[in-house]
């Protein structure tokens, strides 16, 4: 089977988990690509400590 690329749009907590599960479930030649508008990852629950 030809290699597949699966895009996950938005790399927050949900997107990060989805991409990791996809990578585990897809065939080794497939790719899971995570796309986010920000270059840096922010762990939203930690924002609590900034307040
Ligand atoms: C201060 C604070 C404390 C919290 N504490 C807890 C806690 O203790 N326990 C708990 O379970 N939950 C907690 N939460 C809630 C938890 O953070 C959210 O429920 C969770 O982050 C939601 O995940 P998500 O993937 O839906 O969205 P997010 O994690 O918010 O991710 C959304 C992503 O989408 C990206 N995005 C948005 N628009 C675009 C676009 N147009 N193109 C590309 N990318 C885009 C953003 O850059 C971001 O990376 C807390 C939230 C906050 C703010």
The CA 48 to ligand 1 mean position distance, Å, reads 12
What per-residue confidence (pLDDT) applies to 1? 79
Task: Tell me the average confidence (pLDDT) per consecutive run of 10 residues in the chain, 51 residues long.
Answer: 95 95 96 95 90 80
| pTM to 2 decimal places | 0.87
- The whole-angstrom distance between residue 26's C-alpha and the CA centroid of its chain comes to 14
Distance (Å, whole) CA 32 – CA 10: 13
Cβ–ligand 1 contact at 12 (below 6 Å): yes
Q: Which of 25, 27, 22, 24 is nearest to 9 (CA)?
A: 22
Q: Evaluate whether 12 touches 45 at the Cβ level (below 8 Å).
A: no
The CA 12 to ligand 1 mean position distance, Å, reads 5
What per-residue confidence (pLDDT) applies to 16? 94
Q: Are strands 5-9 and 31-35 parallel, antiparallel or unpaired?
A: parallel
What per-residue confidence (pLDDT) applies to 26? 97
């Amino acid at each position: 089977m030809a290699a597949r690329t699966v895009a996950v749009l938005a790399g927050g907590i949900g997107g990060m988990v989805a991409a990791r599960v996809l990578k585990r479930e897809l065939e080794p030649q497939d790719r899971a690509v995570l796309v986010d508008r920000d270059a840096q990852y922010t762990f939203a629950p930690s924002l609590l400590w900034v307040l």
